[in-house]
Amino acid sequence: MKNILCIGAGYVGGSTMPIIASHCPEYRVVIVDINEVRIAAWQSDQLPIYEPGLDEIVRQTRGKNLFFSTEINRHIAEADIIFVSVNTPTKMFGQGAGRAADLQYWEKTARQILENSTSSKIVVEKSTLPVRTAEAMERILNSNGKGLHFDVLSNPEFLAEGTAVRDMQNPDRVLIGGRETESGRKAIESLVEIYAQWVPRERILTTNLWSSELSKLVANAFLAQRISSINAISALCEKTEADISEVAAAVGRDERIGRYFLRASVGFGGSCFKKDILNLVYLCEHYGLPEVARYWEQVVKMNEYQEARFAANMVSSMFNTVAGKRIALFGAAFKAHTNDTRESPALEVCRALLEEQADIVMTDPYALENACLDLKEMATRVTYEPDPYVAAKDAHAIDILTEWPQYTELDYEKIYRSMVKPAFIFDGRNLLDHKRLYDIGFNVYPIGKPPLSRLVQHDS
């Protein structure tokens, strides 16, 4: 039996490894993490991440060929293949602060692998990393006096949160980058063999290391770019009475453009898009390509503009002040079907409204705990309320910030009756039936569509 180890039991490691274990019963899969609380949660009935379908897979494999542990050193020694999915956040200090990736956990992990290894191994980069990180890793790992050889592979993760299980069970592609040496090719083949247990061979792409590392950043940059593009047009729609949903549908019908990722919104969030684009920007600058850097940087700037525009639009529509007004934020997660709040536009809107001295009550079916941690510096100024009806009671406005399907099924007549009048809904996800809400009595402000409002517009 071969031993697979994954270092880092976060969203990436925690959702991919159980699926590998379920398809590869002849491999023993261990996931380790420095965070004891997290590992204890993975061993319990209450998993630390909410991901549809994951509970069942963990339940089926845990204790058979899937194990969670904090004994990192011992498991490194036993492993044949080590996946590394520790976090690589944006560096907040020194050179490249605010843009470059902070590789300290990655490097520390590489050194830990080296110290505890007594046999040669394959080390797989699962975390998103700047191009050519593998080279540094190879140098660290192969600078040992022990006569051991390490093959470093890049195998970026393309799964999206909320659909991680589905994406991993049936991926568009699996990408594996490695060295074009004999030992590199053998290492690639070992990893291909694992994925080939359930992924058709033609969907497993093998490339050189640098193409693989770069493809991950580029895929995320392209996806985010589509959202920033449609969001830029949503601002124009609001000025011209064009309707962004109609424009997106018409544009997306061109097969060359395609219909996915054209949903205008309050902005994109998540742990990857912003971080990866800033990383790409930093790389371009590093390699002396300032024009290319500025081009991609604009995708992030447009997203920040969209979040700020949403909050500013609220203030101007609500008679130029929200101070002291109760505002109910529906949704804290950065997208539906996850409890993840990293870079969530809901938190940005919350911060902007707190600046305006609004009273905020936040509701979300799964993400309130994380939101509370993220907003801890303003904990006393936000109320967290799991019941959306209670959250909306006595509020002046509701903001739809996460596209949870349950928000489409609420009794908005009841909600309307409980709110202060005039009652506002700002639909940052174009999720609800706006005409119906207007007929109930709400003043409705979608994204990229004319508002349905009985009130005179106040220009900011």
Applying CB under 6 A, which of residues 80, 158, 298, 304 lies at the interface with ligand UDX?
A: 158
Applying CB under 6 A, which of residues 206, 212, 215, 265 lies at the interface with ligand UDX?
A: 265
310 contributes a contact to ligand UDX by CB under 6 A: no
Of 318 and 333, the one with the shorter C-beta distance to ligand UDX is: 333
153 contributes a contact to ligand UDX by CB under 6 A: no
Q: Which residues contact 285 (CB under 8 A, 6 or more apart)?
A: 99, 293
Q: Minimal distance in Å, beta carbon 300 to ligand UDX?
A: 13
Stretch 93-112: interaction string toward ligand UDX, x if CB under 6 A: ------------x--xx---
161 contributes a contact to ligand UDX by CB under 6 A: yes
Applying CB under 6 A, which of residues 19, 227, 283, 332 lies at the interface with ligand UDX?
A: 227
Catalytic residue list contains 272: yes
Applying CB under 6 A, which of residues 33, 297, 356, 364 lies at the interface with ligand UDX?
A: 33
Long-range Cβ contacts of 295-299 (<8 Å, 24+ apart): 296/221, 296/225, 298/228, 299/221, 299/224, 299/225, 299/228
Q: Minimal distance in Å, beta carbon 187 to ligand UDX?
A: 20
Q: Minimal distance in Å, beta carbon 217 to ligand UDX?
A: 10
Applying CB under 6 A, which of residues 121, 325, 335, 449 lies at the interface with ligand UDX?
A: 335
Applying CB under 6 A, which of residues 198, 261, 305, 438 lies at the interface with ligand UDX?
A: 261
Q: Which residues contact 47 (CB under 8 A, 6 or more apart)?
A: 14, 41, 54, 55, 58
Q: Minimal distance in Å, beta carbon 308 to ligand UDX?
A: 16
Q: Minimal distance in Å, beta carbon 78 to ligand UDX?
A: 17
Q: Minimal distance in Å, beta carbon 77 to ligand UDX?
A: 17
What's the distance, CA 453 to chain centroid?
Answer: 34
Applying CB under 6 A, which of residues 16, 22, 65, 88 lies at the interface with ligand UDX?
A: 88
Q: Minimal distance in Å, beta carbon 110 to ligand UDX?
A: 10
Examine residue 446 and say whether the peptide bond preceding it is cis (omega within 30 degrees of 0). Answer: no
Name the catalytic one among 24, 237, 272, 350. Answer: 272
- Span of 50-58, 268-276, 366-374, 378-386 interacting with ligand UDX by CB under 6 A: 268-276
7 contributes a contact to ligand UDX by CB under 6 A: yes
Of 265 and 313, the one with the shorter C-beta distance to ligand UDX is: 265
Applying CB under 6 A, which of residues 282, 334, 407, 426 lies at the interface with ligand UDX?
A: 334
127 contributes a contact to ligand UDX by CB under 6 A: yes
Residue sitting closest to ligand UDX (CB): 10
Of 105 and 416, the one with the shorter C-beta distance to ligand UDX is: 105
Positions marked catalytic: 272
Q: Which residues contact ligand UDX by CB under 6 A? A: 7-13, 33-35, 38, 85-88, 105, 108-109, 127-128, 157-161, 220, 223, 227, 261-263, 265, 268-273, 334-335
